[in-house]
A and B are shown apart, each in its own frame.
Chain A
Amino acid sequence: MNAPTDPLDWSSLGDAPLEGEMDDAALLEAVLDQAGVAPPANDATPSTSPRWARPVLGAVVLFAAAVLLLLLAPRWKQALRGEADDAALVPHVETPEARDAAERKHASTPRPPARPAPEQPAAVVPSPPTPAAVPAQDLAPPDDAPRRPRSKPPAPPADTLLRKAQDALAAKDASGARRAYERLLVAHPRSAQARAARMSLGRLELAAGRPKKALSHYDAYLRGQGGAMRREAELGRIDALRALGRTSAEQTAIEAFLHAHPKTVHATRLQARLDALR
């Protein structure tokens, strides 16, 4: 009999590893992966901004650069094109008055080649241009401008998305939960929450009659570091294989599961299924 000598030995409670528990290295890796609240130490300028803030900062910088480019583009264009470009731009001006004025100016006023005349911008690129009076390529930037701020908003933190999905599940909104879980997978693919989401997605897809998708989620979970729900993922995988009719793979999966967890409470059910498959 290998029962403990003192059933009330408090001091050793929790000291021994539990059967099937995640090993220390995997646990540390998972935690440190999530703990990245600040940039790694080798960053040149350490800051305490959270990970999700980086895409936001990137988007802001890009947006600012785009606005600056739009504001300066006409001037640069003129500066680069110089006098030669003046002539090219003039024919686009449809009104005869503008054309005459431009021709007169072109013929009579000698200017340094790269420096436009003071009145030229008003004649060639009027500030509120009528569509007909402005060349097509000059219309593009103002059209682009409002689109830039519509870039993707930053994804909420993984915990928020997970809670959202769980709330949706509690409200029996399976599709809402699925959307939130999938968003979590995209936004925080390496987080522990994403691994948990794989499990939930597997269950949801299986319940919705999409075993192929369920199988891919379970496989993804098992391919990763595994984790606390490894056993559940293996069971889910068996169910998905069964739903897909992949009997050979199901049989292999059941055998492996029973070999790894001979004392499982699912043993009777799985053994019966195994017998039926044989």
Chain B
Amino acid sequence: MRKSDPLEMSSDVALAQEASQGDRRAQAIVARRVLPRVRKVARSLATSTADADDAAQHALLEVLRSCHTFRGDASLERWAARIATRAALRHLQRERKRSTAGEAALDEAPAIAPGPSLADDLPRGLRSYLGELPEAQRSALVLHHALGYSLDEVAELTDVSPNTVKGRLRLGLAALRKHVRREQRIGAPNTQTAEVAR
């Protein structure tokens, strides 16, 4: 269905230009094409479903508003993912600041917030472990390992030096492995014990 659309046959630059000029169809096509990448970015970076939805919405909007800057140097999807990542990071950071006024420095503060989180809904996996890391370490790990950004790119996206990124990655990975090893020894806190109890 998508291929039959004549607008999609035109080059990505032309498409982005049309979208930037307010062409609703072009905007819809761009949004549909980049949505999977935007959602992956938002889901990876957010710690709750609500945050992920908000971040995806915010990031997608930012992509559409930035269409006039697309030059075709990279694919539309990759370009959009970068903009979405920056927008999602900004949005999540703002939300966190708002919800936890007076929070300690990001490197020290635990990332998990009270209330319903993904860990309540999913089997314990990477996301759950990530949720136990400080925010800055988690972002660095997700950006580098899950979203494939280089050290320099992560540094640019998070406004810190590459050395700081290296430190966060090292500490984050170590903490992550520690959590995993511990659970491999003693088992996951909720799922196994709940099943045994039954």
Contact = CB atoms under 8 A, between A and B. Distances in A.
Interface stretch (B35-43, B104-112, B159-167): B35-43
B153 to A, nearest CB: 16
B31 A32 contact: yes
B61 A34 contact: yes
B147 to A, nearest CB: 8
Contacts of B22: 36-41, 46, 48
Task: With a 10 A CB-CB cut-off, give which of A13, A15, A40, A229 has the most chain B CB atoms.
Answer: A13
Main secondary structure of the interface of A (DSSP, over half): loop
Contact of A14 (B32, B40, B57, B124): B40
A21 interface: yes
Contacts, number: 136
A35 B39 contact: no
B5 interface: no
A28 interface: yes
Given A28-B28, A46-B22, A48-B21, A7 B142 contact: no
Task: With a 10 A CB-CB cut-off, give which of A4, A7, A20, A265 has the most chain B CB atoms.
Answer: A7
Nearest to B32: A28
B191 A3 contact: yes
Nearest to A4: B125
A229 B129 CA distance: 25
A148 to B, nearest CB: 31
Given A30-B57, A38-B21, A263 B126 contact: no
The 7 lowest CB-CB distance pairs between A and B, nearest first, are A38-B22, A14-B44, A228-B53, A14-B43, A14-B40, A10-B145, A13-B146
18 contacts: A3-B125, A14-B39, A14-B40, A14-B43, A15-B40, A18-B49, A28-B32, A35-B61, A36-B24, A39-B22, A41-B22, A227-B53, A228-B49, A228-B51, A228-B53, A228-B57, A263-B121, A265-B115
Interface of A: 1-4, 7-11, 13-22, 24, 27-28, 30-32, 34-41, 46, 48, 166, 192, 227-229, 231-232, 263-265
